[in-house]
Amino acid sequence: MKPDFALVALACLGSVFAAPLAAAKSDEVRIYRCTDGAGKQTLRDTPCPKGQQQQVRDMVKPKDAPPVKPPEPAPKPAPIPQAATPTQVIYLAPPRPMYECVTPDGKRYASDDNTGNPRWVPLWTLGYQAVRPTTSLGSNIGGPPPRPDNPTRPPRGDINWPVAMGGGQWIRDACTMLPPAETCARLLDRRKQIRTRFFNAMPSERDVLRVEERGINARLDNDCGGH
């Protein structure tokens, strides 16, 4: 029996186009629309059950959207150059010392120098016998000479300045320097006394107290860290 050449040709053509068609069908999906006896419609991907009307549609298979690339962060703005802060230079004077002086009777007082208050002491209190010379006028020379701290007769720089005139000599009180912490404490005490006295002081005295307190405040700022 001879083969039918027409059927052979159709079979060959079918094998040639079968692969592209399968590739094309792989991108599609077949949807079945089924309608039952009550007119209710359903969609499915398999053929409809028997007794239901069936409509077939081939649709392109949906594809997932490509992943969204996160936006690149915005570049940071360039830093604004800051203006150079001017350097503040504060000049501090060296701390001023304070001294405690003692009088012969044991009284103590504060002083800004170590010279001590001068006092006139007759020579007989020191164990000397005073001799009063006489002048051509016949009068005795008596009484102490000017104070060492008198501007008309400045001291010679010694703590004890003996002057053998009038049967006596000037002697200064002994003084010792206080520690810095004690100096600051005494300045605070003095400022407290000034403020207490200020309320009962006369107007003229208040002006003097203001000047003294202003000086103490400046000294506390410079020497004691601004107490």
Encoded amino acid at 149, one letter = D
Report yes or no on whether pTM surpasses 0.75.
no
- Residue 199 corresponds to which tokens in the numbers above? 């309320």
109 in Cβ contact with 101 (< 8 Å): yes
Give the pLDDT score at 122: 81
Close Cβ partners of 64 (under 8 Å, ≥ 6 residues apart): none
- Overall size of the chain counted in residues: 227
Residue 10, φ and ψ in degrees, nearest 5? -65, -35
Q: How far apart are CA 38 and CA 117, in angstroms?
A: 131
Tokens 């094998």, residue? Answer: 15
- pLDDT digit string (tens) for the chain, length 227 residues: 444 444 444 444 444 444 444 444 567 788 888 988 888 888 888 899 888 888 888 877 777 778 888 888 888 888 888 888 888 777 678 899 999 999 988 999 999 999 999 988 887 766 655 455 444 443 334 455 666 665 555 444 444 444 444 477 888 999 999 999 999 999 999 999 999 999 999 999 999 999 999 999 999 999 998 76
Encoded amino acid at 166, one letter = G
Measured between alpha carbons, how far is residue 26 from residues 58, 61, 122, 160 in Å? 11, 8, 136, 125
- Residue 93 corresponds to which tokens in the numbers above? 């004077």
